[in-house]
């Protein structure tokens, strides 16, 4: 099984606070797009509970359990291109509503490849995090993308078995 989760060519913290990763997923772009936008799918790989209105201007609300309490995040879908692009603007990434001038944008670009697709993620936070936080977030993206990969590949195998 081919596994590719890697930082794009630049290394270290980028001045603009961007984390860029890519992963190869052995699934159709439609499967990946569904995993990134539908509440039931998001709850299988990303969060514990979700509500999603996957239209431009629609909202994604995600909940994560952390011990006896939980964290809630809210994002707005800025751009959606079926099977190609999902762009979100986080208006509350779990630490409270963004302060004026804060900006946390996330995009997933999906490109069809032989026997699957490549997903490129750009997570840009402004103002940029400090180096230590950046390192934690960068490592966290590796885990998140592996969860996405596992979920999509399992979903793809299940859909082929039903066909």
Which stretches of the chain drop beneath a pLDDT of 50? Answer: 1-3, 6-13, 99
pLDDT of residue 67: 83
Query: What's the pLDDT at 100?
Result: 54
Contacts 24+ apart (CB under 8 A), 102-110: 102/126, 102/127, 105/78, 106/75, 107/79, 108/32, 108/36, 109/84, 109/85, 110/29, 110/32, 110/33, 110/83, 110/84, 110/85, 110/86
When divided into structural domains, the chain yields a total of: 1
Q: Tell me what pLDDT residue 46 has.
A: 95
* Total-model pTM: 0.84
**Which of 160, 96, 106, 104 is closest to 127 using CA atoms?**
104
CB 102 within 8 A of CB 127: yes
Decide: 28 and 152 in contact? Cβ < 8 Å.
Answer: no
Domain with 129 in it:
5-162
Task: Give the N- to C-terminal CA distance of the chain in Å, as an integer.
Answer: 23
Find the CATH number of the domain harbouring 119: 3.30.530.20
pLDDT in tens, 1-41: 444 554 343 444 456 778 999 999 999 999 999 999 999 99
Q: Which residues contact 119 (CB under 8 A, 6 or more apart)?
A: 22, 23, 24, 25, 32, 108, 109, 110, 111, 145, 148
Residue 98, pLDDT score: 55
């Amino acid at each position: 099984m081919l596994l590719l989760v890697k930082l794009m060519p630049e290394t270290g913290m980028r001045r603009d606070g961007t984390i860029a990763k890519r992963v190869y997923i052995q699934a159709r772009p439609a499967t990946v797009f569904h995993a990134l936008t539908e509440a039931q799918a998001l709850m299988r790989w990303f969060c514990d509970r979700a509500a999603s209105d996957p239209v431009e201007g629609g909202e994604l609300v995600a909940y994560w359990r952390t011990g006896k309490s939980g964290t809630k995040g809210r994002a707005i879908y800025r751009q959606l291109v079926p099977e190609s692009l999902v762009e979100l603007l986080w208006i509350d990434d779990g630490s409270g509503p963004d302060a004026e001038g804060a900006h946390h944008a996330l995009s997933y670009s999906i490109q069809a490849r032989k026997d699957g697709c490549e997903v490129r993620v750009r997570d840009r936070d402004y103002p940029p995090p400090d180096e230590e936080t950046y390192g934690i977030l960068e490592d966290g993206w590796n885990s998140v993308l592996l969860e996405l990969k596992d979920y999509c590949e399992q979903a793809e195998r299940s859909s082929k078995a039903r066909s």
